[in-house]
Structure 1
Amino acid sequence: MPHPPEGAFVRRVGRTLRSSLFAQVLVALLVGVLVGSQWPQVGGALQPLGDGFVRLIKALIAPLVFCVVVTGITKAGDLKSFGRIGVKALIWFEAATSVALVVGLVGANLLAPGAGMHVDPDSLDKGAVDAQTGGGHLPSTAQFVLDSLPNSAVGAFAENSLLQVLVLACLVGVALLHLGRQRVPQILPLVEQGQEVVFTVVGYIMKLAPLAVLGATAHLVAQYGLGAMSTYGKLIAVCYGVALVFVVLLGCALRAVTGLSLWKFVRYTREELLLALGTGSSETVMPRMMQKLRAAGCRDDAVGLVVPTGYSFNLDGASIYLSIGTLFIAQAVDVHLTLGQQITVVLVLMLTSKGMAGVPGSAFLALSATASALGVIPASAVALLLGVDRIMDSMRVATNLLGNCVAVFVVSRWEGALDRVTARTVLAGGEPLAPSRAGTPGATGVTGPVTEAARDR
């Protein structure tokens, strides 16, 4: 069989790079590793590329969440169902993060990533963690709830506080339901148009994604070097391995509840996942993930409520890292934790992990709080993780992101807000064949309700 001419192969590669965001981001990731390892000063100077991209995306998250939630509530037309979605989402979040914590502890006990290090806590820099966290602290439960309430409508958007924007959006959506479309006929179309504008702007910004990945990856490798991989190799392998086990469990749960394949969803969102890995931030792909979840048959109100709250309450990857990190520190300083103390670790982290979102150095603050609660691990030992924390971002980001997407599908299924015919078709790489309850033009290409029987075919 004759081989294709070399020129044809080059043209095919060129077309792939021009048309595929996944290929562009993958190439940028490899180039970033090369630049950061061979020319560290150049790699460090490229950091603004990643930071600037993250800023642009974050600027659009608050208005997008507001528009999606308001549209979802008003189109669902049922405030009780929206409340049920919220309650079911919180139940799922608590169950998922608890499983993540337990899986992390089991993995750390079996594989013992810190065993044999014999670190003297007195030799560690006691002020290193304070320098990393800026002397901050995690909010109490009462303060966390209070901080979720907006002090001003403008401030919620200016501070990019997702929970505050979510509260405002819920209030506006409820008000529109109460007033009815006859009294405010122009409001909902205006919100829908605003939503489409935001998605269009996101599309423009996503063209810069390869540059962002190049800058973020080059800076990461230049800052930490490849030597950190050998120094903390076992800890990194344990964290990523346990995260993979947890993702498999997520896939089993998704299959059991919805009949959908997590692997097909990963293929469907491979561009977004690779971008999140490259930039070390799940917020950079939040708008695109919301759009793809809606296109995959999830109703607007479920997507609009579950995704933003999941960014604060459903940090599965962070939970795995915290549980493994706690045992790694204890093993490194030769402290043996009993079963009772490990149960205490789970209980403490179940509380502290809920207040982590948006707090600088939150992982170290949560670990310090856990060490203080146990009373047997020196707080200064948390500094052992300073050299590897940023490398764990990819694990945390990917696991958090998949955990939140699975939560959307599961909660949507429980609430009857999932068009499974559309979901199966889209995840298989096709176009939706049946009307979707997403109800937003452009989400799946069609609008309108479907019956429960049609959804479950």
Structure 2
Amino acid sequence: MPSSVPSAPRRVAHILRTSLFAQVLCALVLGIVVGRLWPGFAADLQPLGDGFTRLIKTIISPLVFCVVVVGIAKAGDLKAFGRIGLKALVWFEVASTFALLIGLLAANVVRPGAGMHVDPAMLSAKAVDAKTGGGSLPSTTEFVLNALPTSFMGAFAENSLLQVLVLACLVGAALLHLGHTKVPQVMPAVEQAQEIIFTVVGFVMRLALIAVFGAMAVLIGQYGLGVIETYAKLIVLCYVAAALFIVLLAVALRIVTGLSLWKFLRYIREEMLLALGTASTESVMPRVMQKLRGAGARDDAVGLVLPTGYSFNLDGASLYLSIGTLFIAQAVGVDLGVGQQITVVLVLMLTSKGMAGIPGSAFLALSATASSLGAIPAGAVALLLGVDRIMDSMRVVTNLLGNCVAVFAVSRWEGALDLERARRVLGGETAVEVAVEVETPQRQGSVAQ
């Protein structure tokens, strides 16, 4: 009698066929192998990752617009939406400040750049200029003005998330003001467009493993594994500091909502692995929005907090910038006093905002910080060129988890979180199963009436 238990090869084949996590993990490992063995061939795989990222970016703006408009219209309270935005900004500032302070504390204790004795005269700022394209970070006034769209279609064409958010808030407010009776076709059309976009996301995600393979092969082929030996102390410090910050995020999430960050991490493991493979949080934004909504966060909170966090809540970048500033100072023999380190925090609190989407933004922020101190040569920033790409994984994980925790915390703070649903979904039940159980009694009640 044949056994009903599937053989091990069949189980493995089934997992590879049905699990995005397993597929992306295999692509990740294969990319590392190809990059290590054939670096020349790996360099030609750059379009694989870039093409996937481009496809995802075309979806983000219309998706954010639809989610925010529907969220405001369904919430029925524009004041509540304003409160969500204000509370999100407060959370972002507190979280990013903690990240900066943890980075400074770690760099002062471990001193990763001490003993390098780098001669500043041997360093050139030209390499940094090439990395950043000679650009600069916007001033506070420019940042605010750039968040305001100059045309409706221009915001989508330029893929400016903040501008799209402003437009979505205006359209959502207009729908609330007019009411469904005056524009009865608009809301259904926006909801249908949202469903179409999420379906397109599903199509594009089938290319995820190809993108991860290409991106990882290029990374290993271009930088190799030798850079890890050269900057081992700095790399380990950044990753340990990030782990400490994530533990603090877990504690904060538990205190504010009672939810487990580790269960949430298991819940979004596919998206996290994809973000790691492509070194981009943008590549998983649509899927993460779906997951957060499925876990009980209300549409308006998800639609406002998560996209805004991509510009205002770069916790991983803040951590890296504070450690990087002290690293280059220590490497060139500059001892920064307490007052100068306070200046570092204040400058980075400003320069770390609005970095998303700007080429070489980390180096621009570091250069601005070095210039404000006046004690670190501008060319010293070039010391981080070789290791910057290795830090992407740390920044991606920390940024993504920081923004997801912000969504849950602000939603709970505003009463926009279905806590029971969140516990059940993070506990292993699918969002579909929970939705069916919730909907069935409601339908039965309506039939009884």
What TM-score bracket applies, with the shorter chain setting the length? over 0.9
Question: Would the aligned equivalents of 1:121 and 1:378 in 2 still touch at CA under 8 Å?
Answer: yes
Structure 2 residue aligned with 1:253:
252
Stretches (4+) displaced over 4 A:
4-7, 432-436, 444-449
Alignment partner of 1:200 is 2:199: yes
Structure 2 residue aligned with 1:112:
111
Counterparts in 2 of 1:361 and 1:392: CA distance versus 1, 3 Å: same
> What residue identity is the alignment partner of 1:284?
S
Counterparts in 2 of 1:448 and 1:374: CA distance versus 1, 3 Å: farther
Alignment partner of 1:354 is 2:336: no
Across the two proteins, how many residue pairs are aligned to each other? 440
Displacement of 1:431 in angstroms is: 3.8
Counterparts in 2 of 1:432 and 1:44: CA distance versus 1, 3 Å: closer
Alignment partner of 1:9 is 2:8: yes
| Equivalences for residues 278-357 of structure 1 within 5 A | 278-357=277-356
The C-alpha deviation readout for 1:45-104, integer Å capped at 9, x for no partner, is: 111110000000000000000000000000000011000000000000000000000000
1:448 & 1:415 partners in 2: Cα distance?
A: 27
Question: Would the aligned equivalents of 1:276 and 1:284 in 2 still touch at CA under 8 Å?
Answer: yes
Alignment partner of 1:420 is 2:405: no
| Equivalences for residues 216-295 of structure 1 within 5 A | 216-295=215-294
Structure 2 residue aligned with 1:23:
22
Question: Would the aligned equivalents of 1:156 and 1:165 in 2 still touch at CA under 8 Å?
Answer: yes
Structure 2 residue aligned with 1:140:
139
**Matched position secondary structure for 2:35:** helix
The C-alpha deviation readout for 1:364-392, integer Å capped at 9, x for no partner, is: 00000000111101110000000011111
> What residue identity is the alignment partner of 2:334?
V
2:439 & 2:48 partners in 1: Cα distance?
A: 37
Structure 2 residue aligned with 1:157:
156
TM-score, structure 2 normalization: 0.95
2:433 & 2:32 partners in 1: Cα distance?
A: 44
Displacement of 1:359 in angstroms is: 1.1
Counterparts in 2 of 1:8 and 1:434: CA distance versus 1, 3 Å: closer
1:8 & 1:344 partners in 2: Cα distance?
A: 62
1:276 & 1:411 partners in 2: Cα distance?
A: 23
Displacement of 1:356 in angstroms is: 1.1
Counterparts in 2 of 1:446 and 1:119: CA distance versus 1, 3 Å: farther
Question: Would the aligned equivalents of 2:85 and 2:304 in 1 still touch at CA under 8 Å?
Answer: yes
1:176 & 1:405 partners in 2: Cα distance?
A: 28
Counterparts in 2 of 1:434 and 1:411: CA distance versus 1, 3 Å: farther
> What residue identity is the alignment partner of 1:198?
I
Question: Would the aligned equivalents of 1:422 and 1:434 in 2 still touch at CA under 8 Å?
Answer: no
1:9 & 1:378 partners in 2: Cα distance?
A: 59
Counterparts in 2 of 1:322 and 1:179: CA distance versus 1, 3 Å: same
Question: Would the aligned equivalents of 1:298 and 1:408 in 2 still touch at CA under 8 Å?
Answer: yes
Displacement of 1:290 in angstroms is: 0.3
Displacement of 1:41 in angstroms is: 1.0
1:287 & 1:363 partners in 2: Cα distance?
A: 25
Structure 1 residue aligned with 2:126:
127
2:325 & 2:346 partners in 1: Cα distance?
A: 13
Displacement of 1:124 in angstroms is: 1.3
1:435 & 1:46 partners in 2: Cα distance?
A: 42
Displacement of 1:435 in angstroms is: 8.0
Question: Would the aligned equivalents of 2:347 and 2:369 in 1 still touch at CA under 8 Å?
Answer: yes
**Matched position secondary structure for 1:114:** coil
- Structure 2 unaligned spans of 5+: 443-449
Question: Would the aligned equivalents of 1:157 and 1:165 in 2 still touch at CA under 8 Å?
Answer: yes
Displacement of 1:5 in angstroms is: 12
Question: Would the aligned equivalents of 2:125 and 2:381 in 1 still touch at CA under 8 Å?
Answer: no
Alignment partner of 1:82 is 2:81: yes
TM-score, structure 1 normalization: 0.94
Displacement of 1:448 in angstroms is: 12
Question: Would the aligned equivalents of 2:117 and 2:333 in 1 still touch at CA under 8 Å?
Answer: yes
Question: Would the aligned equivalents of 2:311 and 2:354 in 1 still touch at CA under 8 Å?
Answer: yes
Structure 2 residue aligned with 1:91:
90
Structure 2 residue aligned with 1:181:
180
Question: Would the aligned equivalents of 1:268 and 1:427 in 2 still touch at CA under 8 Å?
Answer: yes
> What residue identity is the alignment partner of 1:244?
A
1:221 & 1:446 partners in 2: Cα distance?
A: 49
Question: Would the aligned equivalents of 1:425 and 1:433 in 2 still touch at CA under 8 Å?
Answer: no
1:12 & 1:435 partners in 2: Cα distance?
A: 27
> What residue identity is the alignment partner of 2:236?
A
**Matched position secondary structure for 2:256:** helix
1:178 & 1:7 partners in 2: Cα distance?
A: 59
**Aligned-pair RMSD on alpha carbons?**
1.9
Displacement of 1:358 in angstroms is: 1.4
> What residue identity is the alignment partner of 1:269?
I
> What residue identity is the alignment partner of 1:16?
I
Structure 2 residue aligned with 1:73:
72
Counterparts in 2 of 1:7 and 1:194: CA distance versus 1, 3 Å: closer
